[in-house]
Chain A
Amino acid sequence: MNYYMEFVYIISSILFIMGLKGLSHPESARRGMHYAEVGMFLAVVGTLVSGKIVTWEWIITGIVVGSAVGAAMAIFMPMTAMPQRIALSHAFGALAAVLVGINEFIEKGHLGELNSGLMGALGFEVLFGALTVTGSLMAFGKLNEMIKGQPITYKGQNIVNISLFVVTVGLFVYLIFFPYEPVIFYTMIGLSLLIGVFIVLPIGGADMPVVISLMNSYAGLAAAATGFAIDNKVLIIAGSLDGSSGFILSIIMSKAMNRSFANVLFGAVGSPQVDTSNLAEARPITRFGIEDTKFVLEQAERVVVVPGYGMAVAQAQHTVRELSDELEKRGIKVEFAIHPVAGRMPGHMNVLLAEANVSYDQLLEMEAINPTMDTVDVCIVIGANDVVNPAARTEKSSPIYGMPIINVDKAKTVIVMKRSMATGFAGIENPLFYEPNTKMLFGDAKKVLQELVTEFKKV
């Protein structure tokens, strides 16, 4: 065993853990990332000079091309495209794991060193890796609107998926006992690639935060399995960190939607049949114009903004911040309440608002804001719908019943900015719009906010 190498890997592992620890607070986060970067640098340089490397041209080309592509993506990709980028990077990470696994299979197979233990590790590596590659690419396609964002469902879908899964696991078990079977090995990879496609097909846009978190977890597990296959401990540690991160995020996301993993993966939200016709007919809505809104806001002492995916679509984050500045100038306290699944990935709204220079201590979690909601004078809902739907609290028949929501209806006045009366992703009617304290402000979020800011600046 190469002790010098092990020592370098231990240092790297410690630095990775310290790096993630830094993310507990925005103050320490950047320092933490520097630790992790040093850790990565040490691990790579350590491996390069370990003596295991004989041929250099492929490595140098790969590193140069990879750095150029990675850097270009990091520098030029707009923050609004962050969900796509995250999805894509899961695919890259998993691809590397699959290829290392295939190489190991060929190499060890040739040397006659494929035993059941190694095959177990390789199997996990390529299974998780392959389904993450295609699953993440599908998520990327959906987020980038290259594939229809709506759930794609067909009759017998779950049966197809489950049989595919069972067959793949069957092949894996077979390989553990009879590892020298290249045809079976590659078939297993092929089926796993198919699983990745099929598993994401029926998942709609609003469920993307769960999918992205799950893929994060799988990519990590694939890396950890690689560590087992090539007996490399730093890979196991880094992979476990990634795996648990994705796992925790998936739990948080599922909880925030009041759904189980299985429900997200196998229970595509079809078209929930809720009878809300009486709601729409019996109760009128109150429309508000720019001036009414300005008047109400001026009277307020405490304003809470609740952003949703609509804000991201309208790219309204900068205008929201301008409005918040105008209000603060008038001594009004402005906060932002962020639902865990608002947007298309965990933390989506936070990143957009931070980009627009909103101070991070103004970004509050749902749990922090809800208890004080009745002291809020005005709540502005921008492009959010299901996450503020009080039916989740009151209506047992509603498909989102039980989902934790931001209780905007408890604020004294709620201003809902929306393009039209169209329902949210799940097609669920929102009784919030008909509440007497709710005022509807129709129009494109960015344009409406712009007009509002201009109005404020006039004075």
Chain B
Amino acid sequence: MQIELIYILILAGFVGFEIIKKVTPTLHTPLMSATNAISGISLVGSLVAAGVAEGGVNSTISHILGFVAVTAATINVVGGFMITERMLKMFKKKEKKS
């Protein structure tokens, strides 16, 4: 493990803190579903597990674990973004009637 990863963690944490502090409370639910979709990025790790070559010693285990992980992460990515969009679409400003 390299020390640079710790730098990234700390700096990303600060960036996240500053950005999310500014999120309007009205959008706190979409924020949760959006960050959820984004953290579905573990899909990337799952893909590598599910996609190892066949015939290796542990390839069957990797395929099964990877498959379930890919499914779970995809549910989050696809479902998370879709539901965030669905929610955000509802937040409208009414045209003020004169």
* A48-76, CB < 8 A from B: 48, 52-56, 58-59, 61-63, 65-67, 69-71, 73-75
* B45-83, CB < 8 A from A: 45-54, 57-59, 61-63, 65-83
Q: Does A44 contact B (CB under 8 A)?
A: yes
Interchain CB contact under 8 A, B65 and A102? yes
Interchain CB contact under 8 A, B29 and A351? yes
Give chain A residues whose Cβ lies under 8 Å from the Cβ of B2. Answer: 231
Interchain CB contact under 8 A, B76 and A227? no
- A223-B1 in contact given A33-B34, A33-B84, A92-B72 (Cβ < 8 Å): no
Once the chains are docked, how many angstroms separate the CA of A239 from the CA of B44? 12
- Taking the nearest CB of chain A, how far is it from the CB of B31, in angstroms? 5
Give chain B residues whose Cβ lies under 8 Å from the Cβ of A362. Answer: 94
Q: How many residues of B contact A (CB 8 A)?
A: 83
Interchain CB contact under 8 A, A241 and B38? yes
Interchain CB contact under 8 A, A93 and B73? yes
Give chain A residues whose Cβ lies under 8 Å from the Cβ of B83. Answer: 73-74, 77, 82, 85
Give chain B residues whose Cβ lies under 8 Å from the Cβ of A228. Answer: 1, 5, 9
Interchain CB contact under 8 A, A66 and B30? no
Interchain CB contact under 8 A, A226 and B91? no
Q: A92 is contacted by which of B13, B23, B76, B94 (Cβ under 8 Å)?
A: B76
- A346-B78 in contact given A100-B49, A340-B25 (Cβ < 8 Å): no
- A73-B21 in contact given A55-B54, A82-B29, A241-B35 (Cβ < 8 Å): no
* B1-51, CB < 8 A from A: 1-2, 5, 8-9, 12-13, 15-17, 19-51
Binding site for B on A (CB under 8 A): 12-13, 16-17, 19-21, 23-26, 29-30, 33, 36-37, 39-40, 43-44, 47-48, 52-56, 58-59, 61-63, 65-67, 69-71, 73-75, 77, 79, 82, 85-86, 89-90, 92-93, 95-97, 99-100, 102-104, 106-107, 110, 117-118, 120-121, 212-213, 216, 219-220, 222-224, 226-228, 230-249, 252, 328, 338, 340, 345-348, 350-351, 354-355, 357, 359-363, 365
